[in-house]
Amino acid sequence: LGVNPITLGHEAVGVITSAGASIPPSRIGERVIVYYYVGCGECRWCQKGDEHICPSLKAEYGFISDGGLAEYIRAPSRNAIALPDNISFIDAAPIGCGVTTAVHAAKLAMVQPDDTAVVYGCNGVGFGLCQLLKNVYGVAKVIAVARSGAKRNKALELGADVAIDGTDAAAVASAVREASEGCGADVIFECVGRRETMDACVGWVGALGRRGRLVLVGYHSGDEHDFRCHPIPMIVYEQTVMGSVGATLDDLKEAVQYVGSGKVNTVVDCTLSLDSFQQGLDKIKNSECIGKIVCVP
């Protein structure tokens, strides 16, 4: 997923320093967050506002186009969304994926107030989901699953009702069913994407309940992390499995509003200088961060 060599960074904020001739000069100096997809603008997906699944993307910053881990980035004016003054750049940067992906996934899942929702895997997107589900959708019960005790505590602080230790994935399904009066979850946001975590969600005694919706958000490469499930339990329980990738431009605008209003707070582990970005990548790889790492030029 993506190309190399490339400048990474799909969550970028900054100040507009120059603009094309057709752009109002008043935009110079504007504080903005960058939407990281640029669709073809012509296909049916782009016409519907779903350019994140455009089959002919012109750019995807940090994936197939040079991204925001740099002093400058060039993007179309429509991709530069104004930030309110009450959101700092440090707090705004994680909105670009951490909050927008949560916004989009919740829409696809058609979340309802009486749902029992599981957020499986808590950090950027997971922390965004915990808050969104409670503060925007008013979900009855939010269950967070994470291996890290610190992340479980943070999820509870952000609104989760129950936090389950995910260290032993084989024990997660029974823990979710115990926390949901034996019914299982109405919706699971799977933000890890490993074979054992996906396995915990499905099957006759999996964490997903009747007519449950499993939303696959996280992923790992390699055949060892293929999603596998026998169809019979899914058929009998009338369950749904769907994927959710990125977000639309409107999702980003919504996410900025949620953070600006205080309904969602981004979680930042630390800041680093831009030339120390490798330290941040190593920290992420070793699962040593609680929240996002923000690089500052």
d(Cα 181, Cα 202) in Å, to the nearest integer?
Answer: 17
In angstroms, rounded to a whole number, what is the distance separating the alpha carbons of residues 58 and 62?
13
Query: Does the reported pTM lie above 0.85?
Result: yes
114 pLDDT more than 70: yes
pLDDT tens digit string along 205-247? 999 999 999 999 999 988 899 999 999 999 999 999 999 999 9
Q: What pLDDT is recorded for position 1?
A: 63
What share of the chain has pLDDT > 70, as a percent? Answer: 100
Of the candidates 264, 118, 84, the one whose C-alpha atom is nearest the C-alpha of residue 189 is 118
**pLDDT exceeds 70 at position 45:** yes
The tens digit of pLDDT for each residue in 68-109 reads: 999 999 999 999 999 999 999 999 999 999 999 999 999 999
Both tokens assigned to 133? 């589900």
Query: Binning pLDDT at 50, 70 and 90, where does residue 287 land?
Result: confident
* pLDDT greater than 90 at residue 290: yes
Could you tell me the pLDDT band of residue 2, with boundaries at 50, 70 and 90? confident
Tell me the percentage of the chain whose pLDDT exceeds 90.
94
Give the residue among 153, 143, 124, 157 at the shortest CA–CA distance from 255: 124
Q: CB within 8 A of 293, min separation 6: which ones?
A: 268, 269, 270, 271, 272, 280, 283, 284
